[in-house]
Amino acid sequence: MGPLRIDPLKAMDEALKFNQRLAASFKTLRSLDEVDYGASAKEEIYREDKLVLYRFKGKDKPSAKVPILIVYALVNRPYMVDLQDDRSLVKNLLAMGEDVYLIDWGYPDQSDRYLTLDDYINGYIDRCVDAVAHRHKLGKINLLGICQGGAFSLCYAATHRDKVKNLITMVTPVDFHTPDNMLSHWTRGMDVDLFIDTLGNVPADLMNWCYLTLKPVRLNQQKYIGLVDILDNKAELENFLRMEKWIFDSPDQAGEAFRQFIKDFYQANKLVKGGLTIGDKDVSLKDVTMPILNIFAEQDHLVPPSASRPLKQLAGTKDYTELAFKGGHIGIYVSGRAQREVPGAIHDWLAKRA
Amino acid sequence: MSDKKPTQDWAHDWQALQKQYWNAWQDVTRNATGAAPDPATPWHEGLEQWSRLFADSGKQNETLDRLLAGAKGYMALMQSMIAAAGNKTGGMDPKAWTDAMRQGFSMPGVDALLHGNPLAKMLRDIGGPGAQGFDQLSANFAPFLQQAKSESLSWLGVPAFGYAREHQEHYQKMAAAFVEFQDAVNRYNALILKSSQRSFEIFENKLGERDEPGRQIDSPRALYDLWVDAAEEAYAEIALSDEFRAVYGDVVNAQMRVRSHVQAEVERIGTDLGMPTRTELNSVHKRLHELRRAHKNGSDERVAELEREVAALRGEVATLKRARSMPANVVAHPKHKAVKAAKGRK
């Protein structure tokens, strides 16, 4: 019998159509403008060095009394949370009455090489939290940390309990030594001191390359074969190109912060094993006592669910909720399912803890 | 696999397909560039022609480069699979299909060094605008290494002495570091080759599981997707091994050692010419950050101190205001006098 039932005529037709689509795409591709991003209006409310703190503006005034501050990762740009009109976590949260702020870290250059995790967490994040809290005349606000920004938020919440009312972590690594974590596996053979002493800041292009090598065939070939299927659809093509723009629009990483992050989180796994110190503050997840909503993606190849789930056992809170999203690290923001499930889950969870 | 058609008919169909294919490309490329692709180099030349149409666009070129690389690889596979299907009048077993797939990675247009090693090709293709791997990083210091190699090869192992002793020692160390780096890269490449070979084994196994009716593969795309699953599985097996971790670390660390030697050499030349160096600039940045931290912490403490003082003063003002607003007879009441006296003692 054999494993294949390919009709050669159909196969040839498939090959021909593949080429015809590719050939015909010339017109569509030429007609595209530079893709843009951002669905929601926003205003700058605080600025420091290259960091800008934004407040998003919805159509109506927010009904929530306590605002959310989004702390994004240092890798990649934060506009993923507000990519386009029909793919925006921020827009959906605003529509539900939430008041949403976001830290944009900017693009570090060599003058930022000596920024430490202390500068980022006890400095920048703390001052942004103060700026938002002051504006609302509140003692505590809600924090939403994403990926590496989630790890930062955990550290911040553990050491500034008096300033965080509720903590939401999205695709956040906690246990960096799970067997399926390829990125972590690779970093453990690296001499990160030599790496940073030599490179200074870590080039964004090198970071991108590392991420692409996690799944070299899927991310570097199969994805582009799939692109041919939508080459005649301008809207779909623009969506694809917007994602591409985001993937390759990455900031360099400030050297010292990167050094500490790799050593303490990836190599020594101190969030789990203990002994983590940021600046002059000891960090223990047992001190994260406010309510936590931990959202992770079941098909996440960058932060596997097994890396996020241990938060349940490690955090000191008695009010812990978990949401397993059916999708990947990026799909959790941009997929249709994400638009339907994630903002509503956050809003409902916060409403019960207002 | 349908096998009702005689082999000679497949050849005919294949030629007809090629003709249609060229017609499609010629329509596009002639209109845009006035030139037609060369039918002597099928498939790949058409894709190359297509990409040249965008030479002046500049807008989506990064994506187009990646699309082109992906399409070339895919077309090579497709061509190989279709040819295999067409040349076979009977059903093919998983091994025969795996061989056809392997052949697809050795088609014209694919780098001969990467034949039979699709994962190495994928990893190499990742490098481009927006993604620069260790290969590209090492290309940056290649010119310096050429010089170092030419100066130092004859010195390697020779004891350094005399006027240029330090200079000679430095080049010796740089050359030795480069040899280590090359050795690490070779070990890395060997593991990638191993994962490529393993990908074909897994692919064959996966095909073997598709024998039953209802699970069979019915299109080249589905076959390709199955191969992608196999390739990723094979790569993950290797990439998550302890051996890979050690070799990956060696590649990164060895490259950083070479790079730091090159940087030291560039700094030495810069210093000789009186130019500012990276080290000097780093010192300035470091001091600035330290100053800034000290200033911020200091001002935070001063602000906290001032806030405490303002709160205390506010309290005193409030007490005084309350005292002033009380009626004289209340103030004069002995009981209140006693209270005030008690407060004063606190």
Chain B hits for A228, Cβ within 8 Å: 67, 71
Chain A from 87 to 116: CB within 8 A of any B CB? 110-111, 113-115
What are the pLDDT tens digits along chain A (354 aa)? Answer: 677 777 767 777 787 788 778 777 777 777 787 788 899 999 999 999 999 999 999 999 999 999 999 999 999 999 999 999 999 999 999 999 999 999 999 999 999 999 999 999 999 999 999 999 999 999 999 999 999 999 999 999 999 999 999 999 999 999 999 999 999 999 999 999 999 999 999 999 999 999 999 999 999 889 988 998 888 888 888 999 999 889 999 999 999 999 999 999 999 999 999 999 999 999 999 999 999 999 999 999 899 999 999 999 999 999 999 999 999 999 999 999 999 999 999 999 999 999
DSSP state of A143: E
Q: Which residue of B has its CA nearest to A244?
A: B63
Shortest Cα distance, chain B CAs vs residue A256, angstroms: 10
Backbone angles phi, psi at B211, to 5 degrees: -70, -35
Q: Does B228 contact chain A (CB < 8 Å)?
A: yes
- pLDDT (0 to 100) of residue B47: 67
- pLDDT (0 to 100) of residue B4: 45
DSSP state of A286: G
Mean pLDDT of chain A: 93
Chain A hits for B216, Cβ within 8 Å: 1-5
pLDDT in tens, A113-169: 999 999 999 999 999 999 999 999 999 999 999 999 999 999 999 999 999 999 999
Contact assessment for residue A296 and residue A324, using Cβ atoms and an 8 Å cutoff: yes
Shortest Cα distance, chain A CAs vs residue B248, angstroms: 7
Identity at A194, one-letter amino acid code: L
The answer to whether the CB atoms of A23 and B74 lie below 8 A apart is no
Contact assessment for residue B150 and residue A225, using Cβ atoms and an 8 Å cutoff: no
Cα(A304)–Cα(A219) distance, rounded to whole angstroms? 17
The answer to whether the CB atoms of A217 and B207 lie below 8 A apart is no
Query: Helix and strand tally (H, E) in chain A?
Result: 17, 12
- B208's CB contacts (< 8 A; 6+ apart) are A3, B94
3-state secondary structure of B63: helix
Q: Does B104 contact chain A (CB < 8 Å)?
A: no
Q: Is the pLDDT of residue B335 over 60?
A: no
The answer to whether the CB atoms of A248 and B131 lie below 8 A apart is yes
Q: How many CA atoms lie within 13 A of B125 on its CB side?
A: 29
Q: Does B55 contact chain A (CB < 8 Å)?
A: no
Report the candidate in A337, A354, A353, A305 with the shortest Cα–Cα distance to residue A92. Answer: A337
Q: Does B47 contact chain A (CB < 8 Å)?
A: yes
DSSP bridge pairs for A84: A87
The answer to whether the CB atoms of A14 and B220 lie below 8 A apart is yes
- A247's CB contacts (< 8 A; 6+ apart) are A76, A208, B130
Least confident of B65-74, B159-168, B259-268: B159-168
Contact assessment for residue A26 and residue B51, using Cβ atoms and an 8 Å cutoff: no
Long-range contacts of B147-152 (CB under 8 A, 24+ apart): B148/B174, B148/B175, B148/B178, B148/B261, B148/B262, B148/B265, B149/B175, B149/B178
Q: How confident is the model at residue B11 (pLDDT cuts 50, 70, 90)?
A: very low
The answer to whether the CB atoms of A6 and B85 lie below 8 A apart is yes
Q: Does B71 contact chain A (CB < 8 Å)?
A: yes
pLDDT in tens, B250-287: 999 999 999 999 899 889 888 989 999 999 999 999 99
Q: Does B140 contact chain A (CB < 8 Å)?
A: no
The answer to whether the CB atoms of A8 and B2 lie below 8 A apart is yes
Contact assessment for residue A61 and residue A93, using Cβ atoms and an 8 Å cutoff: no
Chain A hits for B264, Cβ within 8 Å: none
Q: Is the pLDDT of residue B7 over 50?
A: no
Q: Does B219 contact chain A (CB < 8 Å)?
A: yes
Whether residue A210 lies in the annotated active site:
no
CA dihedral of B203, B205, B206, B212, whole degrees rounded to 10: 140
As a whole number of Å, the end-to-end CA separation of chain A is 63
The answer to whether the CB atoms of A205 and B122 lie below 8 A apart is no
